[in-house]
Amino acid sequence: MKKKFDYTKPWTSPQRYRAYKEYNTDYVTALTDAAIASRYRNSYHIEPATGLLNDPNGFSYFNGKYHLFYQVFPYGPVHGLKSWALMTSTDLIHWENEGLKIMPDTIYDSHGAYSGTALPLSEDELFIFYTGNTRGADQSRAAYQNGAIYDKHGKITKFDHPLLTTPDGYTNHFRDPMVFKVDDQAYAVIGAQRSDETGTVVLAKADNADLTSWHYKGELHFTDEKLGYMVECPNIVLIDQKPVLILCPQGLDKRICDYDNVFPNMYVVADALNLDTPELVNPSTLHRLDDGFEVYATQAFNAPDGRVLASSWLGLPDIDVPSQADGVQGILSLVKELTLKDGKLYQYPVAETVSLRQAAQKLTLSNRPISQDTNSYELEVELSSSQTLYLFANADKTSFVSLHVDMVIGKLTLDREKLPVSWAEDYGYTRTTYFDTQSEKLKLNIFADTSSLEIFVNDGEKVMSSRIFTEPENTHLFADNSVTATFWKLEK
Ligand code: FRU
């Protein structure tokens, strides 16, 4: 008789931090079977075999391949003892699972190898900067900013000392170093909480070329507003020479920038980055990076081919999702290219994504639902008048996700109230985004996968990324008014 486990039962702290080797074969087999059989498993998104995935980490190009690590707790769908898992790819679409690479196995990361980034040091060595989470016997937290080298044979060698410890004036909520280079000099931005429990971003500078020694430069100034109580996962990229800072200011006052999710993922664009003062010169206000239900911890980097590439966690801290019953939760977004147009940040799936397309189908959507027998597809629609589209629908139109387009005010509303299961109810059932109405046309590229939906408005002017949990047979599409669309089944 196979044992059954309830993965949704609350996990105590000792259970979350239990050593990996303590999980027995019965447990791991049952967990693997449940997660692999999950009806919510996506077909072309990065998703863990078992357990919980959260932030993308160490996104980089090294040894002829893109490297994309992610935070994982492999033994349950909860935030437990975290490691870094690695995926590699030559085309950003087909990913090879390289397994766990950074494990919580030293005194400087005993309670989790937390988020961080990577930067190639040479053809043979990828430098990794990450946070080691530790807890004392009294549960008190200490954070270390640790270094490691990942070599081209796939081996990790951790530095024997932390590269940075938490400076005076900050709590131990100090994490997620993002390493980047300007004119051959390496810097890092780190998310932090000041002792007065306000959030900020701290800049550090490397003292040498092998990145074994670092010192703090001070806080990076880019706003006079209070950044909530903690900033997580800051990233800096240069797009057309302009710095773009991406960050997750937890507890940000909604009067500064409104958002509906538990925590926001935001960005600021500036004219220049002054690394001495240190500040963003002429920064914009804070903008939401994405207007969907689940998006967080976006990590971006300047790739050697000149593109700026980004990956997001389609999930949020403190939010439970239905797939947890199957022992699995969290997926990564499609890889997006970031560009600037007239000072606005655009995000769009990388050009390689079209290689997932099967034969194009012209569809006429009307109020009679059509079944596509799959929820893994791209749908392209151009609209010139107001309309409501329905996706993930059942045959009798009682269950669906709706997308209401108001062409007069340039407003798009995503509504998931009519799904058969609900989650994160406290944060509402709708999300809204606004688009430019000048062209009097709206183009939508909608990427659905079994349990996810990424909507790109006008080639990436706005993005709405969300998880969608429904029954496998709910693959119908319909619309209030008749409209033609192009449909591609997407397959790896
Ligand atoms: C963001 C985050 C990071 C941390 C990691 C731990 O989701 O809380 O700040 O490093 O997750 O998994």
**Rg of the chain in Å (alpha carbons):** 22
Which residues belong to CATH 2.60.120.560 in the chain?
354-490
Which residues are CB-contacts of 216 (< 8 A; sequence separation ≥ 6)? Answer: 164, 167, 202, 203, 204, 205
Q: Are 343 and 284 in contact (CB under 8 A)?
A: yes
pTM of the model: 0.97
pLDDT at 2: 58
Q: How many angstroms does the Cα of residue 71 sit away from the middle of ligand 1?
A: 8
Q: Which residue's alpha carbon is nearest to atom 9 within ligand 1? A: 232
Q: Are 260 and 427 in contact (CB under 8 A)?
A: yes
Is 176 touching ligand 1 by the criterion CB < 6 Å? Answer: yes
Is 81 touching ligand 1 by the criterion CB < 6 Å? Answer: no
Q: Are 174 and 192 in contact (CB under 8 A)?
A: yes
Is 117 touching ligand 1 by the criterion CB < 6 Å? Answer: no
Query: Which atom of ligand 1 lies nearest, measured to the CA of 82?
Result: 12
Dump pLDDT digits (tens) for 198-249: 999 999 999 999 999 999 999 999 999 999 999 999 999 999 999 999 999 9
User: How far apart, in Å, are the Cα atoms of 182 and each of 145, 201, 213?
Assistant: 21, 18, 17
Write down the mean pLDDT value for the chain: 97
Q: Which amino acid is at 213?
A: S
Is 54 touching ligand 1 by the criterion CB < 6 Å? Answer: yes
Is 146 touching ligand 1 by the criterion CB < 6 Å? Answer: no
CATH for 354-490, among 2.60.120.560, 3.40.50.10860, 3.20.20.210, 3.50.50.60?
Answer: 2.60.120.560
- Among left, alpha and beta (phi > 0; psi -120 to 50; other), residue 42 is beta
Dump pLDDT digits (tens) for 416-473: 999 999 999 999 999 999 999 988 899 999 999 999 999 999 999 999 999 999 999 9
User: How far apart, in Å, are the Cα atoms of 80 and each of 50, 74, 156, 371?
Assistant: 13, 9, 22, 39
Confidence of residue 5 (pLDDT cuts 50, 70, 90): confident
Among residues of the chain, what percentage have pLDDT more than 70?
99
Which residues belong to CATH 2.115.10.20 in the chain?
13-349
Is 294 touching ligand 1 by the criterion CB < 6 Å? Answer: no
Dump pLDDT digits (tens) for 122-132: 999 999 999 99
Query: Which atom of ligand 1 lies nearest, measured to the CA of 55?
Result: 7
pLDDT at 423: 96
CATH number of 13-349: 2.115.10.20
Which of 6, 26, 33, 55 is an active site residue? 55
Query: Which atom of ligand 1 lies nearest, measured to the CA of 232?
Result: 9
55 counts as catalytic: yes
Query: Which atom of ligand 1 lies nearest, measured to the CA of 115?
Result: 10
